[in-house]
Amino acid sequence: MRIFSGIQPTGQLHIGNYLGATQNWTELQNNHDSFFMIADLHALTALQDPKEFSKTTLSKFIELLSVGLNPEKCAIFVQSHIKEHTELAWIFNTLTPLGELERMTQFKDKSAKNVKNINAGLLTYPVLQAADILLYKTQGVPVGKDQIQHIELARNIAKKFNSMYGKIFPEPEALLVKEGAKIMSLTEPARKMSKSDSPESSIGVFEEAGSIQKKIRSAVTDTGKEIKYDAKKKPGISNLLTIYSLFSDESLAQAEKRFKGKEYSVFKKSLVDLLIKKLAPLRKKKEELDSRELYVKEILHQGEERARSIAKATMEEVREKIGLLRL
Ligand code: TRP
C-alpha cells in the first residue's frame, strides 16, 4: 500500500507532533511504500523570512531523519523541488467548486486569525494538498483529525477527475493515529499542544534537559492530590500521564498504579527523567546530522529523484487524459 504524508517546515517538532504524527510514520515506513514531504509551498501561505526559509526547510528534513525516518525505507523530499505538484494543483483548481473551498474549517480559522494576509493560497491550500497526495497515486494518508476534510477533498477531486477524464487516481483514505496520542498544552491543558502558542506550553523534541525540566515543573496540574487519569476533572495530570504512558510504553493504568499515593512533584520528576532519557538520543542524532550537511543533502537528493520519477509519469498520464497538445 502506498502512503503519503506532509509536514510544514516551520516550527520545531514538539512532543505532540512526535507522538501524534512522526512516530507513526516511522512505524508505517516498515511495511508501506512510503513518501513523506516537506510542504514548503504550503508554508508560504503565511509570511516567511526569505533569509531563513531555506535553512528552516533543511532543518525540518534533519529533524525527520533524527526522529527515525529512514531514507532506505521511505522517500523524503521537498515539495518545491518537484514542479509537478503545482502543475497538477492548477488542473485540480479547475475541477474544484469554490464553495467547497470556502467551507473548509481550516480556511475559515486561518483567515479569521490572519485578517491582514488572507491570500488566495489559503483558500486553494487543500487543492495543492490534493495534488501532493494524488500525484503519487496514494492510497493511505496518515494524518491527524484536523486534516480529514482535506483528505475528503482529495477524494472528491480524484472521483471527479476519474469520471471526467478516465480513471487514473485511487481514492485516498485518511489513516488516523490512535486517539490516545493527542497531547495537550502544558499551560492550558484544554487546548492541543501547538507550535504557535507560547514556548512554555510545549516541549520540543530536541530541547535541552534543563529547559524540559523547567517546563514540566511549571506545567499546570489540578486541584487535589491524586495521580489519576480523568480528562474532564484533571486535564493537566491526565495530559502528563498520557505523555508518561506513551514515552514509557506503559498503559495509563500501569502508570497510575506506579504513582499511586505519590505527590505530584514525584511524578513530575519521573516524567522529566523519562523525557530526558528518551529524547537525548534524538537530540544527539540531530547534532550529528547538523554537522554533515553534504551527506544530508545527498540523501535529500535521492528522495527527490524517487519522487520525481513517479510524479513525472503521473503528470504525463494526466496531460494525455485531458487532451493537452503534445508535440
Ligand atoms: N496540510 C498538512 C498540515 O498542515 C501538511 C500537508 C501538505 C500534507 N501536503 C500534505 C499532509 C499531503 C498530508 C498529505 O499538516
DSSP string, 239-282: HHHHHHHHHHT--HHHHHHHTTT--HHHHHHHHHHHHHHHHHHH
List pocket residues of ligand 1, CB cut-off 6 Å.
4-8, 39, 42, 129, 132-133, 141, 143, 147
Cα–Cα dist 217/46, whole Å: 33
Encode pLDDT of 60-119 as tens digits: 999 999 999 999 999 999 999 999 999 999 999 999 999 999 999 999 999 999 899 999
CA 142 to chain centre: 9
- How far is ligand 1, taken at its centre, from the CA of residue 6, in Å? 4
Q: Give SS3 for 173.
A: strand
- How far is ligand 1, taken at its centre, from the CA of residue 243, in Å? 24
Show Cβ contacts of residue 138 under 8 Å, excluding neighbours closer than 6 positions.
Answer: 2, 3, 4, 35, 170, 172
Residue nearest to atom 3 of ligand 1 (CA): 7
pLDDT given at position 179:
63
**Ligand 1 pocket: which of 7, 10, 109 to mutate (most atoms <8 Å of CB)?**
7
pLDDT of residue 180 exceeding 90, the answer is no
Encode pLDDT of 26-70 as tens digits: 999 999 999 999 999 999 999 999 999 999 999 999 999 999 999
Q: Comparing C-alpha atoms, which of 2, 7, 65, 6 is closest to residue 28? A: 2
Q: Where are the domains of the chain?
A: 2-180+292-322, 206-287
Positive or negative, the CA dihedral 203, 31, 293, 312 is negative
145 flagged as catalytic: no
**Ligand 1 pocket: which of 14, 25, 79, 150 to mutate (most atoms <8 Å of CB)?**
150
- How far is ligand 1, taken at its centre, from the CA of residue 249, in Å? 28
Supply the pTM of this predicted model.
0.94
192 flagged as catalytic: yes
Show Cβ contacts of residue 179 under 8 Å, excluding neighbours closer than 6 positions.
Answer: none
Please tell me which residue in 195, 269, 312, 321 is annotated as part of the active site: 195
pLDDT given at position 303:
98
Cα–Cα dist 7/185, whole Å: 20
Query: In the structure grid, which three cell numbers stand for residue 224, read together?
Result: 487535589
Extended beta strands in 49-119, E state = 74-78
Whole-number average pLDDT of the chain: 96
**Ligand 1 pocket: which of 2, 13, 37 to mutate (most atoms <8 Å of CB)?**
37
Show Cβ contacts of residue 126 under 8 Å, excluding neighbours closer than 6 positions.
Answer: 101, 104, 106, 107, 149, 150, 153, 154
Cα–Cα dist 12/204, whole Å: 7
Encode pLDDT of 217-275 as tens digits: 999 999 989 999 999 999 999 999 999 999 999 999 999 999 999 999 999 999 999 99
pLDDT of residue 170 exceeding 90, the answer is yes
pLDDT given at position 13:
94
Q: Give SS3 for 320.
A: helix
- Worst-scoring range by mean pLDDT, 126-140, 176-190, 201-215? 176-190
Encode pLDDT of 184-223 as tens digits: 999 999 999 988 889 999 999 999 999 999 999 999 999 9
Cα–Cα dist 134/153, whole Å: 11
Query: In the structure grid, which three cell numbers stand for residue 89, read together?
Result: 494543483
278 flagged as catalytic: no
pLDDT given at position 37:
98
Beta bridge partners of residue 5, listed in sequence order: 36
CATH code 1.10.240.10 for 206-287: yes
Per CATH, which fold does 2-180+292-322 belong to?
Rossmann fold (3.40.50)
